[in-house]
Amino acid sequence: MPAYEPRTTVNIHAAKTHLSRLVERAEQGEETVIARNGKPVARLVPYHDQREPRQPGLLRGQIRILPGFDEVDEEIARLFGMIN
């Protein structure tokens, strides 16, 4: 990625008027800065899903649930009004 990426700055009115065009440009990789009264307030950038797909069983054998894990602690149950 270059140290400086050219970007377009538009005011809010122009962004509302030309939103479809700006989204198309974002799809092509361009970033648009949206300004109010000449002051940048938002960026319209290309969307990149940064999450890795989950792999079931990845932690198998590394997590241990101790006996009594799901037993109700009486003091906590009392604090939450579950028992008197």
Note whether 32 and 10 are within 8 A (CB).
Answer: yes
Q: Is the pLDDT of residue 4 over 60?
A: no
Return mean pLDDT, the chain.
Answer: 89
Query: Does residue 36 fall inside a structural domain?
Result: yes
- Which of the 8 DSSP states describes residue 83? -
Q: Give 6's pLDDT tier (boundaries 50, 70, 90).
A: low
What is the CA 5 to chain-centroid distance, rounded?
23
Give the number of domains in the chain: 1
Query: Does residue 25 fall inside a structural domain?
Result: yes
Question: What CATH number is associated with residue 24?
Answer: 3.40.1620
Query: Does residue 54 fall inside a structural domain?
Result: no
How far, in Å, CA of 33 to CA of 55, rounded? Answer: 37
Query: Does residue 49 fall inside a structural domain?
Result: no
Q: How high is the pLDDT of residue 32?
A: 96
Whether the model clears a pTM of 0.75, i.e. scores above it, the answer is no
Note whether 35 and 10 are within 8 A (CB).
Answer: yes
Q: Which amino acid is at 36?
A: R
Range of the domain at 13: 8-44
Distance from the first to the final alpha carbon of the chain: 63
